[in-house]
Chain A
Amino acid sequence: MMRPASNLVFAAALASLPIAAFASNWDDQPVDPADFEDQVVISYDEDGRYYTEDDIPTYNIAEDGTVDWLTFNGFRRYHAECHVCHGPDGEGSTYAPKIKNSALHMGYYDFFDVVVNGRKNGNSVMPHFGENQNVMCYLDDIYVYLAARGMEAVPRGRPAKKEKKSDLIREAEDACMG
């Protein structure tokens, strides 16, 4: 049940993780949802946040399509911070990969590392967002949204129905954004 108290502190610990090879531009690393089920299945929830049995944040989509708050908010933050390279709905652009699939292939920790520290492969460059509160305060949101997209658990576009923002999520957001 132990979870990192602060994304920013946690990031420092991850800085030395090895970097996996990554696809660039229009190359698609396809995702077969069956292969990634274990990575996203809900084990428990706390105040509107959902986790796998490995304590990794995950999404919750109800039968009527209602998404958890983080998935909804991840949609919003993704389309403010990430979509100018990775395209609408995580679908990729002419020069940046389909990040909805990358998020699953990489898994939570590698994803986290690359967002915080960035990485380079020739002229293909992912910036580092470690100091950007608009990203770091919502990194779990963005991750679960992209994981849900990669699993095709949510369709393209804005989720129509969402769970309420819990008090705990609100408090954490206020503390992080300052």
Chain B
Amino acid sequence: MKKLMLLTSGIAFFASQMAMANDDLVAQMEDPKQWAIQTGDYKNQRYSELDQINADNVGDLQVAWTFSTGVLRGHEGSPLVIGDTMYVHTPFPNIVYALDLANEGKIIWKYEPKQDPDVIPVMCCDTVNRGVAYGDGKIFLHQADTKVVALDAKSGAVVWEVQNGDPAIGETNTATVLPIKDKVIVGISGGEFGVRGSVTAYNMADGSLAWRAYSMGPDEDILMDPEKTTHLGTPVGADSGTNTWEGDQWMIGGGTTWGWYSADLDENLMYYGTGNPSTWNPAQRPGDNRWSMTIMARDIDTGMARWVYQMTPHDEWDYDGINEMILSEQEIDGETRKLLTHFDRNGLAYTMDRVSGELLVAEKFDPVVNWTTGVDMDPESETYGRPAVVAQYSTEQNGEDVNSTGICPAALGTKDQQPAAYSPKTELMYVPTNHVCMDYEPFRVSYTAGQPYVGATLAMYPAPDSHGGMGNFIAWDNINGEIKWSIPEKFSVWSGALATAGDVVFYGTLEGHLKAIHAETGEELYKFKTPSGIIGNVMTYEHAGRQYVGILSGVGGWAGIGLAAGLTNPNDGLGAVGGYAALSDYTALGGQLTVFALPN
């Protein structure tokens, strides 16, 4: 009897802990003075109610203070602000600093994990990290080597740690984590190493495993119910994670999960996208390769998939589907609906009903996108929801050892991970984009664990017959599927945007500018050149009555590879070689946080 008492009181205690963990973070996120999660909120809106800095006065913005991270690699993500403390992370070696905002940014604590540098070359495309997360009095760091660490937010002491993957077989991490309810949900990278992607939930209290859902494999691995999990309203059926693969190819099938996650607590669903199927040579993996390239809606508690939508069946271009899902409530035909908007690498922007998984809009968000003529929107059609592939740009149809030219967008997509922002005030999405096309030649590769498993060679260049630049910053109407306005940029825009109630939208450029533009018109209101190229995300917070805007500089990532020496179009002939801008002519390596405010 006594035993039972202890057990039940233990459960009661645990349940109250669960509620507290969640309530704490939700309260922090609802306070616009904080920046409590990388994505701004669970909806990934990256919108702030702060309006001290607004369209009328943003032109007066000044640098308030700066902080050097001490690391010279690509700096993605942003700091967090919880109360008087700012948490700043770095790329590998993944240092975390806690800075005292009440004491001129004095370092309260610093945590530097010990990681084997052998993980560095296994990371595709630089050693970026998209930042820490907060929940239940802990700071969560997901290191490059896939170790997830919970640190005491006050002291930096390690509370628990757990190893999520194995870098020896190419499993690495670049993403932040999703702290939600009593769980920390994490993803994995390594699609170019033949990793089988998964999403894993650990219990926030102690790091024990709650559930893991693979992107492909048997039903019990992918956590799908053949009857209840739906794809565009139709049950997925048995063995959906293996029956569109040949043989055991699914075991090294890719579908990694390194994007930003969002969640709807009322529906108890979390949302994310899966990456490309491995290899980049489509001939080696016949079939639709489910569930790579898929938008997933999973139950937060159990991981079971409620609905899924595969955007790019049988990928032929490396159009990872990992980009963020932005949640909004908007009116369609007089009815307020719970929406999910997703800007995919493949150049299509999707608007869906996030409760049912119904596809509402699928339109190109860059007019140069040419690999598809569009998505079949007829629910009665056999090819409902599938993109119609243009034969000329099909690397599958053209075959192995054939160079398919002039494909738009390039493999890095019309948009990569750099997150867009949504303003409920303007009902517009503000999207950092790439304006780059490619030639793509697939060929046979063999798989060796822990070695690159790519199987294609590609050349990238600015979109032909356009403005000559490699990026645009656009405002998107997600209900009508239209570009409202578009700002041409010399380089890809690789920085996450921020929208505010002050009618200002902020983003960074690869040359290093922080830019502020008008939320309605896109008119440039302010710019400042920071010490290095920007691939981080703009954030804002208020401290002691003053609004601040913060951005990490530090060029690198995918952009630092492709653009460092400039791009060339091999189809332009010799005269054009070297004719395009080289990023190294504009900026150098750095690692700095710059914080802006209005003059006192």
- Residues of chain A at the chain B interface (Cβ within 8 Å): 25-26, 75-81, 83-85, 87-89, 91-95, 98, 118, 120, 122-127, 129, 131-135, 155-158, 160, 177-178
Contact = CB atoms under 8 A, between A and B. Distances in A.
A145 to B, nearest CB: 11
Interface string B430-465: 000000000101011110100110111111100000
B121 interface: yes
Interface stretch (B299-307, B351-359, B559-567): B559-567
A157 B121 contact: no
17 contacts: A80-B280, A84-B452, A88-B460, A88-B562, A93-B126, A94-B73, A94-B74, A94-B561, A123-B73, A125-B118, A126-B121, A134-B454, A156-B577, A157-B569, A157-B570, A158-B439, A177-B444
B121 A25 contact: no
Contacts of B439: 158
Interface residues of B, number: 51
A76 to B, nearest CB: 4
B471 interface: no
A129 B584 contact: no
Given A75-B457, A123-B92, A158-B570, A134 B451 contact: yes
Interface string B79-102: 000000000000011000000000
Contacts of A91: 564-566
Nearest to A125: B120
A80 B565 contact: no
Main DSSP-derived SS at the B contact region:
loop
B569 A134 contact: no
Nearest to B192: A84
Contacts of B72: 25
A77 B457 contact: yes
B545 to A, nearest CB: 39
Contact of A125 (B121, B192, B443, B564): B121
Best-surrounded residue of A75, A120, A157 (most CB of chain B within 10 A): A157
Contacts of A131: 448, 451
A89 B117 contact: no
A158 B125 CA distance: 22
Nearest first, the 3 closest Cβ-Cβ pairs linking A and B are A94-B560, A157-B570, A91-B565
A94 B556 contact: yes
A89 B560 CA distance: 14
Contacts of B4: none
A32 to B, nearest CB: 19
Contact of B441 (A76, A88, A120): A76
Best-surrounded residue of A75, A81, A135, A177 (most CB of chain B within 10 A): A81
Contacts of A80: 280, 443, 445, 452, 454-457
A88 B117 contact: no
Contacts of A84: 124-125, 192, 452, 454, 561
A133 B121 contact: no
A120 B121 CA distance: 10
Given A94-B556, A95-B556, A81 B568 contact: no
B340 to A, nearest CB: 31
Contacts of B125: 84
Interface of B: 72-74, 92-93, 117-118, 120-122, 124-127, 192, 280, 403, 439, 441, 443-446, 448, 451-452, 454-460, 555-556, 560-562, 564-570, 574, 577-578, 584, 588-589
A120 B588 contact: no
A89 B561 contact: no
Contacts of B459: 79, 88, 157-158
B452 A134 contact: yes
Nearest to B535: A94
Contacts of B454: 80-81, 84, 134
Given A94-B589, A158-B403, A177 B567 contact: no
Contacts of A25: 72, 589
Contacts of B118: 125, 127
A177 B446 contact: yes
Given A87-B564, A87-B565, A158-B570, A81 B556 contact: no
Contacts of B565: 87-89, 91-92, 98
B555 A94 contact: yes
Contacts of A83: 561
Contacts of B574: 155
Nearest to A81: B452
Contacts of B74: 94-95
B121 A85 contact: yes
Given A98-B565, A156-B570, 20 more contacts: A26-B588, A76-B443, A80-B455, A83-B561, A87-B561, A87-B564, A87-B565, A88-B459, A88-B561, A95-B126, A118-B121, A120-B117, A131-B451, A134-B446, A134-B448, A134-B452, A155-B577, A156-B577, A157-B569, A158-B570
A127 B123 CA distance: 11
Contact of B452 (A87, A132, A177): A132
B121 A79 contact: no
Given A94-B126, A94-B564, A95-B560, A26 B589 contact: yes
Contact of A127 (B122, B280, B460, B569): B122
A151 B93 CA distance: 36
Best-surrounded residue of B280, B403, B566, B578 (most CB of chain A within 10 A): B566
B136 to A, nearest CB: 32
A12 B121 CA distance: 22
Contacts of B562: 87-88
A11 B127 CA distance: 29
B560 A123 contact: no
